[in-house]
Amino acid sequence: MSVPAPGGTIEIAGRTVSRLGFGTMRLTGPGVWGDPDDRAQALAVLRSAVHTFGITHIDTADAYGPHTVEHLIKDALHPYPDSLLIATKVGFARPAPNLWVPHGHPVHLRACVEASLRRLGLERLDLCYLHRIDPDVPLADQLGTLNAMCDEGKIGHIGLSKITPEDFALARKEVSVAAVQNVLNIHDRYDPVVELCRDAAIPYVPYRPLDAGAAALGGDVATPLGWLLARGSHIAPIPGTRNPEHLARIVQAADGGGST
C-alpha cells in the first residue's frame, strides 16, 4: 500500500509530488561542509523520508558539502523510485566552511551540471535551480547555459533561488521558470515573489521554512508549517532535519497533526 503524500500533492517540473518536500542542507558537517558526524543516520533519514513517509520531492545542491549530499542521496536512494523528484542547484563556489560565492560563469555552470549528473547517477536533472544569480555575469548567459542543457536533454526544468521581483521578470524573458526558492517563514513573512508565482502558476518552494529551527521553539512544528501551507496551494515547503524523530513530527504537522 502506498503512503499518502504528506501535505497533499503539487505539480512541480511536470511531476506530481508531495507538497511537503525534504531539504537536505543539514545533512553535512558544520558550516555545510564535509560529511555529517553520523553518516548512517543521514542515510537513514533520507530513506525514511521517501520510503516511510512518502515524500517524493527531495531538494539538494552541489554546494552542500560541497558535493556531500548528492553522494548521500545516491547511496541512500538509488535506484530511485519513479515517483521521486530530485531537485538540485548549481551556481556557487564553496572555498571554505560557511563561505558561499556566486559563480555563474557558463563554463562553471556546465561543469557543475555534468558533475551533479554523475554524483546522483542520473541522465537528466529533472529540476535544476540557478542557486544564486552571479552579479558579475549577465543573467542571459547564466540562464542561457542551463537552457542549452535543457535542449541537450541534461536538464528537464529550470528553477531560480533567492530572487527579487525584478529578477523574476528578467528571468522569465529568458527561460520558462519551473519553480522559485526564496526564504519564507513565520519570522520572514513577506516576499512579493509569493504572489508573482501564484499569479503565474509557478510553484513557490520556501527554503528555511522553520527558520533553521527558530520557528519551532518548544517543539511546535505545526504552527509554522500550517502558516506556510495556508499561504497558497502553490507553496511547497522543504524543511530539513538530520533527526529521524524530528522528521516524523514534521510529516505529522504537514498532515494537520499535533504540534509536538
Residue-wise pLDDT tens digits, 156-192: 999 999 999 999 999 999 999 999 999 999 999 999 9
How confident is the model at residue 214, as a pLDDT?
61
Name the percent of the chain lying above pLDDT 90. 92
How confident is the model at residue 213, as a pLDDT?
61
What is the per-residue DSSP string for 217-258? Answer: GGG--HHHHHHHHTT-TTB------S-HHHHHHHHHHHTT--
Calculate mean pLDDT across residues 54-65.
98
Gyration radius (Cα) of the chain, Å: 17
Catalytic residue among 64, 129, 204, 207: 64
Confidence label for 246 from pLDDT (cuts 50, 70 and 90):
very high
Residue 138 has pLDDT above 80, yes or no: yes
How confident is the model at residue 215, as a pLDDT?
56
What is the crossing angle of helices 193-200 and 165-174, to 10°?
A: 30
Give me the residue spans of the domains in the chain: 9-254
Residue 149 has pLDDT above 80, yes or no: yes
Confidence label for 259 from pLDDT (cuts 50, 70 and 90):
very low
Burial 162-182 (b: 16+ CB within 10 A, else e): bbeeebbeebeebbebbbbbb
Residue-wise pLDDT tens digits, 70-115: 999 999 999 999 999 999 999 999 999 999 999 999 999 999 999 9
Question: 10-14, 19-23, 27-31, 212-216: which has the minimum mean pLDDT?
Answer: 212-216
Confidence label for 218 from pLDDT (cuts 50, 70 and 90):
low
How confident is the model at residue 216, as a pLDDT?
59
If DSSP states are collapsed to H, E and C, what string results for 36-56? CCCHHHHHHHHHHHHHHCCCC
- Is 64 an annotated catalytic residue? yes
Cα–Cα distance between 239 and 226 in angstroms, integer? 13
Say if domain 9-254 classifies as CATH 3.60.150.10: no
Tell me how far CA of residue 124 lies from CA of 146, 153, 228, in angstroms: 12, 6, 30
Confidence label for 258 from pLDDT (cuts 50, 70 and 90):
very low
What is the per-residue DSSP string for 66-129? Answer: TTHHHHHHHHHHPSPPTT-EEEEEE-EE--STT--EE---HHHHHHHHHHHHHHHT-S-EEEEE
